[in-house]
């Protein structure tokens, strides 16, 4: 079965990463969750990216804040799809992280979700995996149906209040 590698630049990013881990678990996808920093442990980042494919990883999620170079550095060393997850910061509310991740030079894309968008990072990984694994694609259809049912119920409840 599929495996998603989830990296974060610091243990302090874990709360943002958790929703990604949770949604992947909910879909029965294995995760490998690591603290690896582009700046503080660059050798580990290089080694991880170089061996990810060989180790059965199919999609990578890289969470980082501030000068958030992790996703870009990992993407430099692998052809696996890399999803960047910008972490909110005190100084700029995460705009610093977002721009550091999303503004990649041509040739090295990092598919970037919103600031603290852990669940969307997980869902995007699932959508990528869904191309190969029909059972994941089917579960995604069910997920969307459940979301639609909830929003319709919320709308109906609101009409009752007004
Ligand atoms: C980044 O610096 C990390 O991804 C984290 O978001 C930020 C702050 O790290 P800590 O100082 O909390 O370890 O590399």
pLDDT digit string (tens) for 49-87? 999 999 999 999 999 999 999 999 999 999 999 999 999
Q: Are 32 and 25 in contact, with CB atoms under 8 Å apart?
A: no
In whole angstroms, give the CA distance from residue 21 to residue 142: 19
| Ligand 1 lined by 89 (C-beta under 6 Å) | no
Could you tell me which residues are beta bridge partners of residue 12? none
pTM for the model: 0.96
**Listing from the earlier edge strand, what are the strands of the sheet with 3-8?**
30-35, 3-8, 59-65, 82-87, 111-112
CA nearest ligand 1 atom 9, residue: 10
In whole angstroms, give the CA distance from residue 63 to residue 115: 10
| Ligand 1 lined by 10 (C-beta under 6 Å) | yes
pLDDT digit string (tens) for 6-29? 999 999 999 999 999 999 999 999
Pocket test for ligand 1, best of 6, 7, 9, 39 (most atoms within 8 A of CB): 9
């Amino acid at each position: 079965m599929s495996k998603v590698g989830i990296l974060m630049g610091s243990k302090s990013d874990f709360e943002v990463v958790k929703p990604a881990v949770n949604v992947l678990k909910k879909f029965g996808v294995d995760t490998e969750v690591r603290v690896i920093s582009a700046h503080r442990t660059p050798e580990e980042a290089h080694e991880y990216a170089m061996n990810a494919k060989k180790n059965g990883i199919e999609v990578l999620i890289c969470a980082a804040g501030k000068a958030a170079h992790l996703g870009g550095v990992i993407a430099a060393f692998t052809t696996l799809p890399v999803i960047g997850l910008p972490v909110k910061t005190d100084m700029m509310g995460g705009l610093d992280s977002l721009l550091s991740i999303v503004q990649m030079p041509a040739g090295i894309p990092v598919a970037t979700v919103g600031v603290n968008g852990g669940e969307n990072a997980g869902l995007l990984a699932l959508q990528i995996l869904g191309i190969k694994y029909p059972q994941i694609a089917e579960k995604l259809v069910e997920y969307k149906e459940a979301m639609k049912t909830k929003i319709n119920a919320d709308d109906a409840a609101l009409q009752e209040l007004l």
